[in-house]
Amino acid sequence: MTAPPSRQLIDVGLRPVNGSRFQPTGFPDIGAATFARFEPDRGEGKEWVDCLVLESPQSMANRLEGTAWDDAGDDQVGAFAGLPYVRVVHADDGEYLTSSRTEAHRLASAFIKDAELDGTSMKAVIRHRLGLRDDRPVAPRTIARAVMGLDPFCLVHGVFFAEKADTWPGQPRIVRALSGQIEAIEVRPAHLGGVKRDHVRHGISDTGGSAEGYGTIPYHRTEWAARTILASFNLDLAQIRSYGLGEDGTALLVAIARWEVAALLAQPLRLRTACDLERVSGEVVDRTGQPLPTPEALEAEVRSGIAACADLLGGGDPIVVHWRATKKAKKDQAQPGAPA
């Protein structure tokens, strides 16, 4: 019997929509993240080529999750209606604030940890749902099943319950099952210049200069060109199967992950002002040659999976929690005997 594949790997060629330059992800103090890639078939002395990270795995995770969220409606897109997630509203007026789908730390967000569900602290609710107890290890499958009923997307994109041990014993972590990145291969810089022109104030004066936004100010910037731009996705099927959610639960999570990839690649990839990309070829296939289904076909799989997994999804309604800002105790107030 042939073993099921451990992962699905997808590589997609991209190119700039307009011209040949692009603006990569920039990082404080270092600018673009450049590196050298080894290509042994290029010949002696030419094996190493200059490359850069055009979009980091962290940023790609945000973009993948963003395909499933409707910013205008502050809710998940219709394809995922029936999946639970934690929805944070303000305790004073019930106005929507954020959610486990949009927070950087997902279920472990401060806005969720410090909120209440029906008068109970969410720290206590999560501890109870996950079955966390002092001096008692919890099976990863137990944690995965509990997370499935809180927000299945955390089983796709990961979550780290990094609260102190007396709150969440064991500090369980679920790593990303779906990751992506965009690399530009064999790159060359394009150094550009410009000027912010002030048509009113032409020089520096005592009443305000460049620090206040006045004056004509020249500036420079660096864009890049590349031989190849490659978006890569890695879906860890073995990890999803390890959750022990049965065939229906596994199929649902795989469909969610594939839908995100297909939806991201089906829309314009305007990552930044000067980084607008399109696919080189129309069809998306994985490294085995298997085509990636369309978002419409994968939505049908998601809808079927939601119907089949009602027992895992805990009703499927958003879990509405109430958050209110509280003042943090000063350190000297928390330490008995501290000098006044």
> Model confidence over 297-306: pLDDT tens digits?
999 999 999 9
Q: What is the pLDDT of residue 41?
A: 80
Q: What is the pLDDT of residue 29?
A: 79
Q: What is the pLDDT of residue 329?
A: 47
Does the residue 337 lie in any domain? no
Q: What is the pLDDT of residue 311?
A: 94
The single residue listed with the structure tokens 């620090």 is 211
Q: What is the pLDDT of residue 206?
A: 67
Total domains in the chain come to 1
Is residue 245 within 8 A of residue 144, CB to CB? The reply is yes
Does the residue 299 lie in any domain? yes
In the chain, % of residues over pLDDT 70 = 95
Residue 333: count of CB within 10 angstroms of its CB: 9
Q: What is the pLDDT of residue 338?
A: 43
Is residue 88 within 8 A of residue 111, CB to CB? The reply is yes
Does the residue 189 lie in any domain? yes
Q: What is the pLDDT of residue 49?
A: 93
Domain of residue 198: give its range: 8-323
Does the residue 118 lie in any domain? yes
pLDDT < 70: residue spans in the chain: 202-206, 328-340
Q: What is the pLDDT of residue 205?
A: 67
Picking from 228, 182, 286, 181, the residue whose alpha carbon sits closest to that of residue 42 is 228
Does the residue 103 lie in any domain? yes
Does the residue 334 lie in any domain? no
Does the residue 339 lie in any domain? no
Which residues are within 8 A (CB) of 255 and not within 5 positions of it... i.e. 6 or more apart?
298, 301, 302, 305
Does the residue 172 lie in any domain? yes
Q: What is the pLDDT of residue 335?
A: 47
Q: What is the pLDDT of residues 60-98, one digit of tens each?
A: 999 999 999 999 999 999 999 999 999 999 999 999 999
